[in-house]
C-alpha cells in the first residue's frame, strides 16, 4: 500500500492554534481517512508532541462543555468530531502572550473532517449544534482532577461569539465557573 499524504495545517487568528484537514478518499462506498498519524502530524504542524490519553464525549444539542484547562501539567488537545457538529473554541490563557484572553472558534463536524489543535496553556470548550455530537480528543497530558479548572463560557470580557446564547445546557461546574479576570492563570509564554 502506498503512503497516504498527511493533513494540511492552517494557523488561525491565534497562530499557535491550528486547523488540521486530513486527506479524505471518497467513492461510491463512502470515505476513508487517516484520523491520526504521528509522523504526518509532526510534518504538518512542526510540533513534536506525545499523546498519552484519548477521550470521547457524547453531548446533546445546546450542551456547552467548557471552558476547561488544567492548572498543572497543561494539556494540548487535538479535537475532532466523529458524529454531528460542534462550534469549538480555544482561549489563550498564556500570560505575556500578545493574544492573551483572545479566542478562536470554528465548526468541526463529521462532514468537514476538520481537527483543531489546542495547545497547552489554552482553555477549550464547545457547543453542540446538531441533535448530538461525539467528540474525540487526543491529549498530551493525563487528566488530573486535582488541577482541573474552568472559566466562564460566556465571560463578557472574552466575548466569544457563540452561535446561540439561549437554551444552553451546562454542567453545574461550567455554570458557576469564574470570569477570566478572577482566575490565577499559571501559564507563561516561553521567552
Question: Could you say which of 3, 132, 137, 142 is catalytic?
Answer: 137
* CATH 3.30.2350.10 matches 8-182: no
Q: What is the pTM of this model?
A: 0.90
Rounded to an integer, the average pLDDT of 184-190 is: 74
pLDDT in tens, 43-73: 889 999 999 999 999 999 999 999 999 999 9
Confidence of residue 188 (pLDDT cuts 50, 70, 90): confident
What band does 191 get if pLDDT is binned at 50, 70 and 90?
very low
- Using alpha carbons, list the distances in angstroms from residue 61 to 33, 87, 130, 183: 27, 11, 5, 29
pLDDT class for 135, splitting at 50, 70, 90?
A: very high
Cell numbers standing for residue 191: 521567552
68 tagged catalytic: yes
> CB–CB of 73/83 below 8 Å?
no
44 burial class (0-12, 13-18, 19+ CB within 10 angstroms)? buried
Per domain, the residue ranges of the chain are 8-182
> Catalytic: which of 3, 68, 136, 147?
68
Is the separation of the CB atoms in 115 and 86 below 8 Å?
no
Percent of the chain with pLDDT over 70: 95
Of 83, 85, 140, nearest in space to 117 by CA: 140
pLDDT band of residue 4 (cuts 50, 70, 90) is low
Instruction: Give the pLDDT confidence of 73-90 residue by residue, as tens digits.
Output: 999 999 999 999 999 999
171 catalytically annotated = no
Amino acid at each position: 500500500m502506498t503512503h497516504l499524504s498527511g493533513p494540511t495545517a492552517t494557523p488561525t487568528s491565534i497562530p499557535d492554534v491550528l486547523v488540521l484537514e486530513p486527506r479524505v478518499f471518497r467513492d461510491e462506498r463512502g470515505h476513508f481517512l487517516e484520523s491520526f498519524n504521528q509522523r504526518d502530524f509532526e510534518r504538518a504542524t512542526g510540533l513534536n508532541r506525545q499523546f498519552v490519553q484519548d477521550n470521547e464525549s457524547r453531548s446533546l444539542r445546546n450542551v456547552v462543555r467548557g471552558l476547561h484547562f488544567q492548572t498543572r501539567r497543561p494539556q494540548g488537545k487535538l479535537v475532532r468530531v466523529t458524529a454531528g457538529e460542534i462550534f469549538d473554541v480555544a482561549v489563550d490563557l498564556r500570560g505575556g502572550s500578545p493574544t492573551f484572553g483572545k479566542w478562536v472558534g470554528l465548526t468541526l463536524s463529521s462532514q468537514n473532517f476538520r481537527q483543531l489543535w489546542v495547545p497547552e496553556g489554552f482553555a477549550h470548550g464547545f457547543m453542540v449544534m446538531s441533535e448530538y455530537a461525539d467528540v474525540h480528543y487526543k491529549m498530551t497530558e493525563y487528566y488530573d482532577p486535582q488541577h482541573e479548572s474552568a472559566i466562564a463560557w460566556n465571560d463578557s470580557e472574552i466575548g466569544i461569539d457563540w452561535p446561540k446564547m439561549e437554551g444552553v445546557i451546562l454542567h453545574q461546574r461550567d455554570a458557576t465557573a469564574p470570569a477570566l479576570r478572577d482566575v490565577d492563570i499559571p501559564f507563561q509564554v516561553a521567552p
